[in-house]
A and B are shown apart, each in its own frame.
Chain A
Amino acid sequence: MSDGTYLQYFPNAYSDVLNHGSVTLLAGINNQYKDYKFPDDYFPGSNSASGTVSGEIVYVGFGISATELGYDDYKNIDVKGKILLMETGLPYNGNDSTLLKWEKYSYHRYKFQRAKELGAVGLLYISKIANPNTSYLEGFVYAHTSESVAEELFDGTGRKYSETNAAIKKNIQPNSFAINKKVQISASTKHFPDSRSCNVVGIIEGADSILKSEAIILGAHLDAVGSPGCLFPGALDNASGSVNILAAAKALAASGVKPARTILFIFFGGEECGLYGSTKSVESPLWTKEKVICMINLDMVGNGTGFRISNGKSFPDLLSPFADANEKYLHRDLSSSEARVNFGRPRTDAAVFDKAGYRTLSLGTTGNVKPVYYHHPLDNTDALTPEIMEDSAKLLYLGILELANNPNIGIY
């Protein structure tokens, strides 16, 4: 950095979740009292307000008011003082120009703000994964619940949750209704609106006096989802990608053959909160964009038997060093895909670089050996297969060394 550090800062509001809170179905005409269990039935909201709210439950589908698209989950539904049961994502599932029109409605922050704007006091979000990429809204208490809890809440309504959800997506028609049950949600959090975080950057300067002006960026997000109710270790997502890069960096630094081009290692912060670190990196580039050969991203690279290099088929000059290294020394299955336009919201750090016009590759794995506990307390080191991590680091070392030293590889 210009100040001589290796830390690139950016704003990063966040919340500490102080305990797992509670989600309770209150006794009613159609149901008995029930305390839902953490972590089996729900996770507390990573940016929930502190406090307790209770109220009638209203199912509001995807929680979207897109009047210009002829779609409004809130039409003729009163949600003031209510607790919403809401889907994540969009009713539209294609990846084409139509999705572009829906994209702004896919953000969790939009959905939360819309719900609060209409007077809802709380939310059960049907997606039992911890997720700090949400809004903290004063007085708005929420939790993530599983589909099985949603199905249970639908009992006695004459409808099935799974069928209702499927019908909304099939017809792209809202189907909101009052469930006629009451729920109570409690949360204990502390919000830090003025905080910041940083990317941690490493560099190996190129050994060639001319080629060193060109750089290869190797990135992985270092952050995870914190401790909402208990420790969510984030071993696969994304300690795995981070340590693979660290191992490759150590090897490249120690290598008897030095890379001719410069290699930048960026351990992104703020990925889980909303791709803050990678966004900072493309908005305040650490290297002249026109001199970057490519950006290679690693996210969840620690469970499997084979390699997958996304976008590799579109950039054969970038893919070839990795394919050759694998064929000669590692002998794993290696598949690759064409780059494709993403009309939806970016979901990875690579997508941020992609959108900014960089050539990107994403190294992933295929053939999961163990269950994947995505944003879950069981995402610990037992969920990793160290053999594929070793080979990923070896693949990076050999592939990047060749990319860095081959004079025939151009910028594009």
Chain B
Amino acid sequence: MKKHIALLIIASIVLSLASFVAAEEVTLTMGSWRNEDAEPVQQMLDKYKEISGVSIRFEPTRNTEYNANLRLQLEGGTGPDLFYSRSYTVGRKLYEDGYAMDVTDIPGVMENFDDTARHAWTADDGKVFAVPFAAVNHVVYYDKDVFAKYDLEVPTTFEELLKVCETLKENGETPFANGLAENWDILECVFCGMIPNYIGGFENRELYESGERKLNDEYFLRALSDFEKLTKYFPEGFQSVANADGPMLLGLGRAVMFIDGSWRSGAWDVDFPDFNWGAFAIPAPEGNAQAICHHSDMAITGNNATKHPEEVKGFLEWLASPEGAQIVTDCLPKGFFPMISSDVKLADEKTAGLKALSDDAIRDSRFMWNTLFELYTPLVDNLNGIANGTITVEKAADALTKLQEEIVAK
């Protein structure tokens, strides 16, 4: 009897193994930091399966833990076949360490994207290591009804913006909903959104990266002092206002404007569907050309250690083709724009409006993303100091310059 049972078990194991092998079709995995996008991305991957027959499973991790997790997986040989690549430093490091695929020769990558789009994912050796996928704009959201109530126009210069703030404040409104509680948005959303208006496009940013321009020059000082002026219009107790509080404050009518990224544009859909919002680019100070922080955010690349390189390359090729890009765009969450040069239609009107803000402006990624990443924490600390009034703009600029010199010297 015992023998029979043993035989049965063995037989069933063999059978199940056999059926598994027979039914095996290629399933790729895709790593990502956007776990909030699981649904739209799955839609996109389902459509890709209809076209190619290759199924891809979306396996996102938490945004803040993605870099570390992905690295551990790649080092341990269990990395996903496809993964989202961070722009600049972090993504480049994975290419240099041999994990991210060189996608330069994949058809479409060189033809369908322009240099600006590819720039964030181009290594020092000139190779492209990921297919650009989505970008975002840094904008000012505003409550259209309140603007109408006080007869305010969308400001076109920073000075006008301050006047708008003053009018709102006099009428007992809180002009801005930004705060310091999370210690990243004040730099990434607010200050990085302002910088291009003061220093210009990426050619000028590179001057800071090479050390030719200092962080205490007139342009950067002006940016810092305008930032200081702006913080005067943050809410009472802005020190404890978190990034996620911003949309709530606007939706509840407790604040009028909010500087954040276009990725936030879907925030009011569920809780405040009637909230009548608009958006404008953070205006440039008088005399400067309008620029905008148009951040290259997402790209997808292949894992060099994948067991299915053909399928991975096939997907990346599709991603880099105009037809693929259109489908991807249809599935992108609100507030993300495709980076392909071909004419892609954005179905969501609001997203199209957000993208239009950067169409005629000077565009650049976040200031320290390329080589000045070590300035991230010092910048956050100094912006906190300026907002709290514990450090002067000049002192902050001098401290940052010292660090900049150290980084450049390395």
A associates with B = no
Q: Which residues of A contact B (CB under 8 A)?
A: none
Q: Which residues of B contact A (CB under 8 A)?
A: none
